Structure 1
Amino acid sequence: MNFDRSKIFQVISLLLSSIIGVGLNIIIGFLIPSMLDFDDFSKYRILMFYIGFIPILHVGYIDGILMKYSSISTEELDKYSFKKSLYIFSIIQLFITLIMSMIVYSTLGKSVYLYICFLIPFVNISGYITKVMVLKNKFKLISLFNLFLKIALVLTALIMMLLHIKNYYYLVYAVYITYILQIIIGYFSVIKNNEKSEEITFSSELKLIKTGFPIVSAYFISTFLLGLDRIFIERSGNLEEYAYYSFAYSLITIFITIFDSLTVLIFPMIMKMEKNKQIEFFETSKVILNILFSITIIFVILIFPMINIFIPKYNNSIIYFIILFPIIFIRLNYSIRIIPQINALAETKFALLYNIFCVFILSFLNFTIYILKLNFIFYGFATVIVLSALNYFLEKRIVTNFNMNTFRSESHQLMIIILFLIVYLNLNTYTYLFGVFLNIVMLYFFYKNNIIKITKKIKIKG
């Protein structure tokens, strides 16, 4: 597989910002829970959790813009300002915020959920500007944006620690300031100073929503699936246990960050590929993700002493972290490989329907756990199983389109799941190390030829 030097630099810049982001996430992951009590930490995690659902309120408009302009060259696209559509979009988002805030305030009063409502225009306007940056290849700026929130949270947490402040409100203010800065910088960088804007009509805007709605809906539902367990745990009223579970998720986020930011490159890149190149990317990326997963689990055990040393009051989170760990690569597989390819193949409606079906299944499983008052560990099991099934069947749809043979990688995935179940059922250092060793053996057995093949194919054009 050949790569342009410019593409390599784009990936490297995002990767470097992600590596820095991982370091900042580690600081955030250990510093904030050590400062706050369980109640404030739970509210902070609730805020950060529900921010992930805010993009559904742009009803696909932003994704429609990405779909519409992805095939246009960067040189031609630089002439468009996107100014008029941004103004209209901003007014609509402010109106939605007003309605949502009134509903929340009248039912829940001044609470963390009201602060989430106030974030709606900031998150979605920032998302609009970020998509324009993707279209215009402003990846250095995107890399900087990826670090803004993390830097703001670290600085705020350090100031709070020095001043002995233990109120999560200050972290909320840091989130607001970050999004406002992103909007201001992004507006003057990619929106304001271009030459022309397309004429905006009701039908053209409606077409954008029609195109993007299945995409944002599928993303929203997949995010909902990923967070459904925490919604049920939150409803249980046990904020301390919610804090343990959320802390485990915050550690999961640390691992996701280093690779997840690369997803902004994938969809425009796939849209410009020929079919044979799409197949090659789909196969190669699967091998790479499986190899990364196999290598990463070797280092998971290092998390245990870190928690014991730096934040021992969260020792109860370790078991949740082990159970939830496969979600890292389930989610990466979904966002880097499956969804971009589903979009490129115009199979978004199928993906949306299957996501909805999985929501019903996981809701039923979580509701059963909730009613029977089972251990919260079962929420983790249910989430991993349903998300794995979602990935499997969506990938089958893509494989059918490409007429591919994926028996080897599917067999490896199945063996990894069985291996992890064995480790879960008898969790101790020896079974964990045995699982790591066995996975390395499987990695060599399944992918030796693929690794050699990939190494030979990667060439950099001058």
Structure 2
Amino acid sequence: MGGALLKKFKTLFFNIMYTVGSNLLTLLVSTIVTLFLPKLLGIESYGYFQLYLFYVSYVGFLHFGWCDGIYLKYGGEDYEKLDKSKFSGQFYALLISQTVITILFIAGILLFAKSSAEKEFVLLATTINIVVLNMRTFSTFILQATNRMKDFSVITIIDRLIYIVIVLGLLVMRVDKFEYYILSDLVGKIFSLLISLLKIKGIVFPKKSRILWDNSESIDNIRVGINLMFANIASTLILGIVRFGIQTQWSVAIFGKISLTLSISNMLMVFVNAVSLAIFPLLKRVNEREYAKIYPIVRSIIMPLVLVALLCYYPLNIILTNWLPDYADSLKYMAIVFPMVVFESKVSLLTNTYLKVLRKERQIFQVNLLSAILSLISTLLFVFALKDLFLSMLSIVILLAFRSSYAEIILARYIKITIYQDMLLEFLLVGIFIITSWNLGMAVGGIIYSISLGFYLILKKNNFKEIRELIKTQK
């Protein structure tokens, strides 16, 4: 038993290394884009670039849960044992549907869009992503589900590597047109799509007689994945509704500034998402009785690390305020939204991963839908009625904290664990961080939060000892 568990942790470790390695490049790209693009493009052009990224984040919903269903149904399977003819039929059926949707969107934009040339370009570029991103999602979900994390990482690396090479060339030439940076993003995605298709070439390039057009399989994949897709839509809307409200109520320039702050606050999520991708297929192969043992261990490792990572806020804020003085008025909001990484990490790494493995997609949807409804209410109140940017930004963290806690309470009920004391401590630390950083400045806020964090780590020392002893027993 001990050897088997150690082997699982070893597999998890290498999968995490692959995904972290590829996501390190993503983080590097995000850092370069975050530091240099706002400075070169100017506030309004950078706003359009952020608008493109914002719209693209919703493109994935146009496969209607098809890819999510495949991911959930076949997670933990061996790629070599998959029925390639059945998956070929799914691939080409999805390709046809996404091509038709893309053509309809392009026609609609050209015929009915009554906006500026810049906005029309953003919309058309977003539409091209429908085929590119969703077909790549099909490939990468199969790779993730079958635990081929190394191949998945290669696709991510190619995407970001091509993008950053072009972007660096544009930066060196001091190109200040946002359109070129959007095109660079598209080029990276298209090349990575081609590579992803080669990684599953047995599915993409079969003999004609081996394509199985199975409508019942397509319907079942959508049926299985639709709840997760709706959950993802609702999840995106939690933040998206607030951002959309800011975009409509304030200028594109303000939207760009706020988006920069959110992008910086989300940079740590690169590593979190890398780890979560590796955990899902592993958990699918673990006996459900082990979940209650594994969850507290993973939680006791992840949450202290994330809370320590909040210390990055202080040097980041100083560096960025001096580097991007035009954005100084928006960077102050980092004190409010930076802790979103605490709650997003818990959802991405822990609650959602476990609920997916337990096939509780409806519960994920329930949590996200309620959070999205609360987001709509808070946006109507703080953005449109009160027109208060401070309260609008604060609502983001409160909403994410609510979603994280509600999801964890549901999960704790299923796997029969108690987490209320840990949740209370985390809320207390985040509250101290926000209040001191916003009201007392960098130096005093940093000192008070560091002391509070020290007390928290002392309280958690018994958990660390238990983890160390468990690892020793598995050697």
Give TM class, smaller chain.
over 0.9
Aligned to 2:6: 2
Match of 2:168 in 1: 158
Displacement over 4 Å in runs of 4+: 78-81, 193-198, 459-462
Higher deviation after alignment, 150-159 or 231-240: 150-159
Match of 1:102 in 2: 107
Question: What CA distance in whole angstroms lies between the structure 1 residues aligned with 2:390 and 2:423?
Answer: 26
Per the TM alignment, residue 396 of structure 1 is displaced from its structure 2 partner at its CA by 0.8
Fraction of identical pairs, as percent: 17
CA positional deviation for 1:229: 1.9
| Pairing 1:27–2:37 present | no
Helix, strand or coil at the partner of 2:349:
helix
In 2, Cα distance between equivalents of 1:250 and 1:442: 30
- State the partner residue of 1:128: 138
Identify the range of structure 1 (142-151 vs 44-53) with the bigger mean alpha-carbon deviation: 142-151
Amino acid at match of 1:41: Y
Does 2:83 align with 1:69?
Answer: no
Paired residue secondary structure (1:410): helix
Aligned counterparts of 1:100 and 1:40: Cα–Cα separation in 2: 24
For this pair of structures, how many residues does the alignment match?
462
SS of 1:404 mapped into structure 2: coil
Could you tell me which residue of structure 2 aligns to residue 444 of structure 1?
457
1:274 corresponding residue in structure 2: 287
Name the structure 1 match of 2:433: 420
Q: Which amino acid aligns with 2:144?
A: V
Partners of 2:473 and 2:176 in 1: CA distance: 51
Q: Which of 237, 255, 266 matches 1:253?
A: 266
Partner secondary structure for residue 458 of structure 1: helix
Counterpart contact for 2:90–2:213, Cα < 8 Å = yes
Deviation, 1:8, is 1.9
8 Å contact kept, 1:157–1:171? yes
Matched, 1:140 2:144: no
Given the alignment, which residue of 238, 242, 247 partners 2:251? 238
- In 2, Cα distance between equivalents of 1:164 and 1:411: 49
Choose the corresponding residue for 2:47, options 11, 36, 42. Answer: 42
Q: Provide the secondary structure at the position in 2 that maps to 1:225.
A: helix
3-state SS of 2:175 partner: coil
SS in 1 for 2:268: helix
Aligned counterpart in structure 2 of residue 332 of structure 1, from 345, 362, 375? 345
Aligned to 1:354: 367
Q: Which residue of 2 aligns with 1:213?
A: 226
2:471 matched residue in structure 1: 458
CA contact (8 A) 2:64 2:222 kept: yes
CA contact (8 A) 1:123 1:179 kept: yes
Instruction: Output the CA distance in 2 between the equivalents of 1:417 and 1:378.
Output: 17
In structure 2, the CA distance between the partners of 1:425 and 1:136, relative to structure 1 (3 Å rule), is closer
Write the distance in 2 (CA, Å) between the matches of 1:14 and 1:166. Answer: 33
Q: Between 303-312 and 360-369, report the one with greater CA deviation.
A: 303-312
Shift of 1:421: 4.3
Residue 58 of structure 1: aligned partner: 63
Matched, 1:366 2:379: yes
Work out whether residues 31 and 157 of structure 1, in 8 Å CA contact, stay in contact via their aligned partners in 2.
Answer: no
**Residue type at the aligned position of 1:300:** Y
Does residue 168 of the first structure (1) align with residue 187 of the second (2)?
no
- Verify the 8 A CA contact 1:77 1:136 in the aligned structure 2: no
The answer on 1:180 being equivalent to 2:151 is no
Partners of 2:438 and 2:176 in 1: how far apart? 38
Task: Describe the superposition over 1:81-124 as per-residue Cα deviations: whole angstroms up to 9, x where unpaired.
Answer: 83221111011001111222233331345341222112111110
Q: Distance in 2 between matches of 1:245 and 1:364?
A: 20
SS at match of 2:141: helix
Cα gap change, 1:95/1:198 in structure 2, threshold over 3 Å: closer, same or farther? closer
Deviations 1:409-460 (A, max 9, x none): 1221231233234325514124412332233233223310111222232369
Q: Which range moved further: 252-261 or 359-368? A: 252-261
CA distance in 1, matches of 2:22, 2:199: 19
2: CA distance, partners of 1:107 / 1:185: 34
For 2:286, what is the secondary structure of its paired residue? coil
Note the residue ranges of structure 2 that are not aligned, 5 or more in a row: none
Q: Which amino acid aligns with 2:423?
A: E
Check the 8 A contact 2:238/2:375 in 1, yes or no: yes
SS of equivalent residue, structure 1 residue 315: helix
Distance across 1 between alignment mates of 2:71 and 2:83: 14
Contact 1:42–1:243 at 8 Å: present in 2 too? Answer: yes
Amino acid in the other structure paired with 2:334 = F
- Displacement of 1:398 after TM fit? 1.0
- TM-superposed CA distance for 1:157, in Å, is 2.6
- Report how far residue 295 of structure 1 moved: 1.2
2:317 corresponds in structure 1 to 304
Q: Which has the higher contact order (CA 8 A, sep 6+)?
A: 1
Q: CA 1:237 to 1:444, structure 2 compared with 1: closer, same or farther past 3 Å? A: closer
Q: Distance in 1 between matches of 2:234 and 2:186?
A: 25
Check whether the contact 1:130–1:186 (CA below 8 A) recurs between aligned residues. yes
CA displacement 1:279-299 (0-9 Å, x = unmatched): 223222222222112211222
Q: In structure 2, do the counterparts of structure 1 residues 45 and 149 end up closer, same or farther at CA, with 3 Å as the change threshold? A: farther
Question: Which letter maps to 1:123?
Answer: L
Deviations 1:191-242 (A, max 9, x none): 3378896743222210110000001111121122122221111112412221
Confirm or deny: 8 A CA contact 1:65 1:208 kept in the other structure.
yes
The alignment's C-alpha RMSD in Å is 2.4
Pick one of 395, 400, 404 that aligns with 1:391.
404
